[in-house]
């Protein structure tokens, strides 16, 4: 196995952003050392390494990268920390994002608090994440983004009413905030409030028609109400918009086609969906 080919692009992006590109060769050496060490550690507790190879590689990447981050983070300004943490969160690396962001103090910006909270939320530390988002609200009272994250966090905790409240507050700040429109429409779909679900999903379609999630909500709500003609129509609208096959729509369209007696189309869609 060529370990270098297994290295994710986010590492080189991060080192470029932090002006550490000249350390990439050293990083590879550190990564190989860490990977070998991890293999030695776990060979006592598992019968084979083959099934754990991906996990080992990811852990070695994290440890090697954190080694360099910890050695240089004192010279990073807050704006650069926010940019680096954004990249890391986008690539599902919350532990390293926390390493970049720490230490946190009350003078930090709203963006700093938001990314700190997002990283904590990704690793399951929800109480502290919530406080970070609250702090971000206090830093930027007119911003929709921290309210969106509070809504998302409430949804993770199964608190539908609280999630609804935060999403609506977010939209009061910015009626075109895409995340809140989409998540609120999903929330209402789950609560079987189909008119409300379509209301916010339709707003999103008009603002950002490339978001397939909005079409999914509308079609699913029509299917739930057995309005299969309407469901079929919105799905065709979506396919026309994207000018390509959208696999996420296949299951919903298969249901609509079956109920409308389009059995051949339903079979083709189910077959494609299963594949």
Q: CA triplet 167, 97, 123: central angle to 5 degrees?
A: 60
Q: What are the phi and psi torsion angles at 109 (to 5°)?
A: -80, 170
Report the alpha-carbon distance of residue 93 to residue 20 in Å, rounded. 18
Q: 239 Cβ partners below 8 Å, 6+ apart?
A: 245, 246, 249
Report the alpha-carbon distance of residue 97 to residue 83 in Å, rounded. 10
Coil, strand or helix: which one is 233? helix
pLDDT score of 74 more than 50: yes
Q: Residue with structure tokens 């080694």?
A: 67
Distances in Å between the Cα of 163 and the Cα atoms of 8, 17, 156, 200, 269 are 34, 35, 9, 15, 34
pLDDT score of 2 more than 50: no
Report the alpha-carbon distance of residue 188 to residue 194 in Å, rounded. 7
Distances in Å between the Cα of 181 and the Cα atoms of 164, 199, 235 are 11, 9, 19
Residue (of 17, 149, 11, 15) closest to 83 by Cα position: 17
Mark out the alpha helices in 73-207 (DSSP H runs). 78-90, 94-101, 110-122, 126-139, 145-156, 160-173, 178-190, 194-207
pLDDT tier for residue 55 given thresholds of 50, 70 and 90 = confident
Share of the chain above pLDDT 70, in %: 93
pLDDT score of 31 more than 50: yes
pLDDT score of 61 more than 50: yes
What confidence tens digit (pLDDT) does each residue in 142-201 have? 999 999 999 999 999 999 999 999 999 999 999 999 999 999 999 999 999 999 999 999
pLDDT tier for residue 43 given thresholds of 50, 70 and 90 = low
Q: What is the pLDDT of residue 103?
A: 85
Q: What is the pLDDT of residue 52?
A: 65
Which of the pair, 110 or 8, is modelled with greater confidence?
A: 110
Can you tell me the mean pLDDT for 85-114?
Answer: 93
Q: Is cis: bond before 88, omega within 30 of 0?
A: no
pLDDT score of 51 more than 60: no
pLDDT tier for residue 248 given thresholds of 50, 70 and 90 = confident
For the chain, what are the domain ranges? 1-73+80-102
């Amino acid at each position: 196995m060529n370990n270098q080919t297994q290295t994710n692009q986010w590492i080189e992006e991060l080192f470029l952003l932090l002006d550490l590109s000249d350390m990439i060769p050293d990083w590879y050496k550190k990564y190989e050392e860490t990977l070998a060490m991890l293999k030695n550690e776990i060979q006592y507790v598992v019968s084979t390494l083959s099934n754990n190879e991906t996990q080992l590689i990811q852990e070695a990447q994290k440890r090697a990268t954190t080694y360099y981050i910890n050695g240089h983070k004192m010279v990073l300004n807050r704006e650069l920390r926010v940019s680096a943490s954004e990249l890391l969160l986008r690539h599902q690396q919350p532990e390293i994002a926390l390493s970049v962001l720490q230490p946190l103090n009350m003078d930090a910006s709203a963006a700093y608090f938001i990314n700190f909270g997002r990283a904590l939320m990704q690793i399951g530390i929800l109480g502290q994440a919530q406080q970070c988002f609250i702090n971000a609200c206090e830093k930027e009272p007119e911003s929709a983004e921290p309210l969106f994250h509070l809504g998302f966090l409430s949804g993770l905790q199964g608190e539908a009413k609280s999630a609804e409240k935060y999403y609506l507050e977010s939209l009061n700040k910015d009626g075109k905030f895409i995340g809140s429109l989409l998540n609120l429409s999903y929330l209402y779909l789950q609560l079987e409030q189909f008119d409300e679900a379509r209301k916010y999903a339709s707003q999103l379609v008009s603002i950002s028609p490339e978001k397939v999630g909005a079409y999914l909500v509308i079609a699913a709500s029509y299917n739930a109400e057995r309005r299969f003609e309407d469901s079929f129509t919105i799905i065709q609208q979506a396919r026309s918009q994207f000018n390509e096959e959208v696999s996420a729509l296949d299951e919903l369209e298969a249901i609509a086609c079956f109920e409308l007696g389009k059995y051949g189309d339903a079979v083709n869609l189910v077959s494609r969906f299963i594949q």
